[in-house]
Amino acid sequence: MIMKLTSLICAAALLAGTTFTRSEETPSPAEMMPKPVAQHEWLKKFVGEWEMTTECHMEPDKPPVKGGGTETVRSLGGFWIIADGRGEMM
C-alpha cells in the first residue's frame, strides 16, 4: 500500500513539474505566427476596387470584342490577397 502511494505521489509530482515547465517554454499562438515581410507589403498595392476593360480578337478580319468589369481585391491576414472579378462581354 505504501509503495503504491509513493509511486502515485512521485508520478503526480513528475507530471506537475513537466506541466509547469512546458507552459513556460511554449510560446503563445500570437508569438508563433510569422510576421509579414517585404513581399507581403508589396501585395498591399493591389488591395482596392478596380475597373477593367478588355479586348478579344476572335477572328482575324473582325473588330475586337470589347468587355469590361470590376475587380475587388482584399487582404487576408496581411499575408494573402483575394481578388474577385466580375465582367461582361459587350
Residue 68 confidence (pLDDT) above 90:
yes
Q: Report angle CA 65, 68, 73 to the nearest 5 degrees.
A: 145
Q: Which residues contact 81 (CB under 8 A, 6 or more apart)?
A: 43, 46, 47, 73, 74, 75
Q: Into how many domains does the chain fold?
A: 1
26 versus 67: the higher-pLDDT residue is 67
Supply the range of the domain harboring residue 36.
2-89
Q: Report angle CA 23, 31, 44 to the nearest 5 degrees.
A: 165
Residue 26: per-residue pLDDT: 83
pTM of this prediction? Answer: 0.58
Residue 63 confidence (pLDDT) above 70:
yes
Residue 15 confidence (pLDDT) above 80:
no
Give residue-wise pLDDT tens across range 16-62: 765 555 556 788 887 888 889 999 999 999 999 999 999 999 899 99
